Amino acid sequence: MPVPGMRIEYRTLDPWPHGLGGREASFERNLHGTLTLLEYEVWRLGGDAILIGTGMSAADITKSGVPRPGRSGVHPGVEVSFDTAKGRMVVPCGTFTHWTDNLRAIAKGLEALRSLDRWGIATAGQQYTGWMALGVGDLGAELVNRHGSIRHALKATHPDHGGDPGDFKAVMGYKTRLGL
């Protein structure tokens, strides 16, 4: 059952910044069922908006913001991101040969991670910490990587040194998420 009020937005993610696997999926490809599961899992984590990055061009996405039927894009990789009370989560998958299979893998992976709480193996969302700390698709993490260290990124982006205030805030947020 879809979650009322949940927003899903697609964006172009080209080039694909992660590895691609090229495997055929052993599960059924069902976009409607996948989106329903993804909405539910994000809702359970306290999210209310999902951003799905794919290899599709702007021409592959309709004016209403959904992919045109039958389009596959320049690569099959998918990156799902959303905000939770504990921070932004970004989950990429490029294992399978079709983007909808990679999206399904992400939805099923989120379901499996949530089961760790349900079965008492993890508490208070510990299993999600790595996804938030990795900074995949995170501007702060990208800036730190580009400048070589948090210290250098902070200096390069600081408004007093001619840097962009938004970039500085992103680096500070990344530093805070890492607990530094």
- Work out the number of other CB atoms within 10 angstroms of the CB of residue 117: 16
- Residue 12 CA from chain centroid, whole number: 13
Enter the DSSP assignment of 91: E
Digit-by-digit pLDDT tens for the chain (180 residues) are: 567 778 898 888 877 777 788 899 998 888 889 999 999 999 988 888 899 989 988 888 888 778 888 888 889 999 998 888 777 788 889 999 999 999 999 999 999 888 887 778 876 666 666 655 555 556 777 777 677 778 888 999 999 999 988 889 988 887 776 666
The CA-based diameter of the chain, rounded to the nearest angstrom, is 54
Report the alpha-carbon angle 98-81-116, nearest 5: 90
| Amino acid 67: pLDDT | 87
Q: Which residues contact 20 (CB under 8 A, 6 or more apart)?
A: 75, 76, 77, 94, 95
E strand or H helix that includes residue 105: helix 99-118
Note the pTM of the prediction, 2 decimals.
0.70
CA–CA distance, 132 with 89 (Å, rounded to integer): 5
Torsion angles phi and psi, residue 130, rounded to 5: -60, -40
Question: How many Cα atoms are found within 13 Å in the side-chain-facing hemisphere of 9?
Answer: 8
Cβ–Cβ < 8 Å for 110, 38: yes
| Amino acid 69: pLDDT | 84
